[in-house]
Amino acid sequence: MANKKNVLLCVTGGIAVFKAASLTSQLSQRGYNVKVMMTESAMKFVTPLTFQTLSRNPVYNDTFDEKDPSGVAHIDLADWADIVLIAPATANMIGKIANGLADDMISTTLLATTAPVMVAPAMNVHMFEHPSVKANMERLAIYGYRFIEPGEGLLACGYVGKGRLAEPEEIIRAVNQYFIEKSKQPLTGQHILITAGPTREKVDPVRFFTNRSSGKMGYALAEVAQSLGARVTLISGPTALPDPFGVEVVRITSAKEMFHVVMKQYESSDVVIKSAAVADYQPKEVFTQKLKKKDTTLSIEMERTQDILQELGKQKQHQVLVGFAAETNDVEKYAKEKLERKNLDIVVANNVSEQGSGFDGDTNKVVIYGKDGHRIESELVSKKEIAKLVFAEITRYTKGKTEK
Ligand code: CTP
């Protein structure tokens, strides 16, 4: 395999652990880098030495057994993995991860990874059919986990039915298939930086200036980019939205914080989409104590924040830069002016005073202008559909650039 992929195999405790040994061996033979993590119960069935020998890598079990002081093992492994495989997955582990528990190394690592996760359950037929287990699996499927269905037949417990761990060959086929599909996705290999939501500019310990952005557009962009194969970093202001699956999320509060985080990630990015509603002004002075009311009027002096997008435009090298323009009038004029002034490649403009395309809604209606003169107008559709249109435009634009 030209580009060796990293498989983090999480082995949880059931009789099917013996099959995970064969799975490790076959994955290694097929050119995957395999690292194995085991639960305490899994180690009661097969020793870590078996997996160490078959994977030619150390086996991990204890979150607190930090052998390398320069790193944090469960985070490093979470980042290392191109795919995480849980095989066999017990009802207990499925229940833990569906509910966000992290009381052992596997469940902790699973919360920390943004890699895709494949789950191969193995358990007694009645356990597999239990409504709690089913509900947990359904929840994980919503979060984007993929399942490799257990087989039917005589189970180790003596029952006949569904619950037998899928055969190693079948699991490997699913892993191979995943990488084949991924390599065909339009945004594979690209690092996409997306900003979303409002910023908060502090006045005093209890007050701040903000705006009505919900972050929904930026989160939809992140979700779509991830599903198209990109590595996505979402830099988000305060929102009520959950982290999109498989996306690295960095939460910030102020425009200044957003500036620093964006700049740090700029060089490694291929595409930057600035959908955040960044404050243009911040209080010149931040009071350390709560401002007390008086009978007179109150003036707060504001100073300009740094225009992040403009700075990105100045420092642009290979990146494709996409800005947003939320306007209430003269949309085309202002959008084109932003495209020029901020050295953008694409600008997504919307009239926020039009019904259905303002802040906080689930729909939007936009006009997308490219630096190459291309213009496309959407209908009033969901923000997810808008996100798809934006990536179609980015793909069209970059293709045009490389063909020149
Ligand atoms: N933006 C930014 N940093 C800022 C302000 C805005 O990166 N400090 C980005 C937004 O994320 C968005 C675009 O710039 O992509 C919006 O352009 P901007 O000219 O700032 O629009 P408005 O804030 O609406 O300002 P104006 O009053 O000029 O219309």
73 and 18 together in one domain? yes
Using DSSP's 3-state secondary structure scheme, residue 236 falls into strand
Neighbour count for residue 206 (Cβ, 10 Å): 10
Protein residue with least CA distance to atom 25, ligand 1: 280
Whole-number pLDDT of residue 252? 98
Of the residues 183, 201, 230, which one is the last residue of a structural domain? Answer: 183
231 and 330 together in one domain? yes
104 and 74 together in one domain? yes
Whether residue 280 has its Cβ less than 6 Å from ligand 1: yes
173 and 206 together in one domain? no
Closest CA to 218 of 278, 157, 260: 278
Query: Each residue of 297-325: pLDDT tens digit?
Result: 999 999 999 999 999 999 999 999 999 99
Of the residues 150, 183, 216, which one is the last residue of a structural domain? Answer: 183
Identify whether the C-beta of residue 331 lies closer than 8 Å to the C-beta of residue 352.
no
37 and 57 together in one domain? yes
Tokens describing residue 391 = 């990536």
State the chain's mean pLDDT as an integer.
Answer: 95
Report the separation in Å between the CA atom of 297 and the middle of ligand 1, taken as the mean of its atom positions.
30
146/117 Cα distance (integer angstroms): 6
Residue 2 has pLDDT above 60, yes or no: no
**94 is a domain residue:** yes
**1 is a domain residue:** no
What's 136's domain CATH number? 3.40.50.1950
Domain carrying residue 101: 6-183
Query: Each residue of 195-204: pLDDT tens digit?
Result: 999 999 999 9
358/210 Cα distance (integer angstroms): 16
230 and 103 together in one domain? no
Whether residue 213 has its Cβ less than 6 Å from ligand 1: no
237 and 377 together in one domain? yes
Identify the active-site residue in 112, 156, 157, 263.
Answer: 157
Tokens describing residue 120 = 């191969």
Of the residues 149, 183, 217, which one is the last residue of a structural domain? Answer: 183
215/212 Cα distance (integer angstroms): 9
What's 217's domain CATH number? 3.40.50.10300
Residue labelled with tokens 């100045």:
314
Identify whether the C-beta of residue 114 lies closer than 8 Å to the C-beta of residue 145.
no
Whether residue 305 has its Cβ less than 6 Å from ligand 1: yes
95 and 208 together in one domain? no
**152 is a domain residue:** yes
212/358 Cα distance (integer angstroms): 9
177/350 Cα distance (integer angstroms): 39
Report the separation in Å between the CA atom of 278 and the middle of ligand 1, taken as the mean of its atom positions.
6
Residue 116 has pLDDT above 90, yes or no: yes
Report the separation in Å between the CA atom of 307 and the middle of ligand 1, taken as the mean of its atom positions.
7
Number of domains into which the chain is organized: 2
Identify whether the C-beta of residue 168 lies closer than 8 Å to the C-beta of residue 129.
no
Report the separation in Å between the CA atom of 350 and the middle of ligand 1, taken as the mean of its atom positions.
13
Mean pLDDT along residues 124-152 = 95
**Counting atoms of ligand 1 from 1, which one is nearest the CA of 305?**
8
**211 is a domain residue:** yes
Query: Each residue of 218-230: pLDDT tens digit?
Result: 999 999 999 999 9
Question: What is the CA angle 124-127-130, rounded to 5?
Answer: 155
219 and 104 together in one domain? no
**Mutate-to-test residue for ligand 1 from 254, 309, 314, highest number of ligand atoms within 8 A of CB:** 309
Q: Which residue has the higher pLDDT, 184 or 312?
A: 312
Query: Each residue of 342-387: pLDDT tens digit?
Result: 999 999 999 888 888 877 789 999 999 999 999 999 999 999 999 9
Q: Please state the pTM of the whole predicted model.
A: 0.80
CA 283 vs. chain centroid, Å, equals 33
Mean pLDDT along residues 285-300 = 95
Is 10 a known active-site residue?
A: no
239 and 297 together in one domain? yes
Whether residue 307 has its Cβ less than 6 Å from ligand 1: yes
Please give the helix or strand (H or E) that residue 75 lies within, else none.
helix 73-80
Identify whether the C-beta of residue 364 lies closer than 8 Å to the C-beta of residue 380.
yes
Mean pLDDT along residues 94-100 = 97
Mean pLDDT along residues 64-88 = 93
Whether residue 309 has its Cβ less than 6 Å from ligand 1: yes
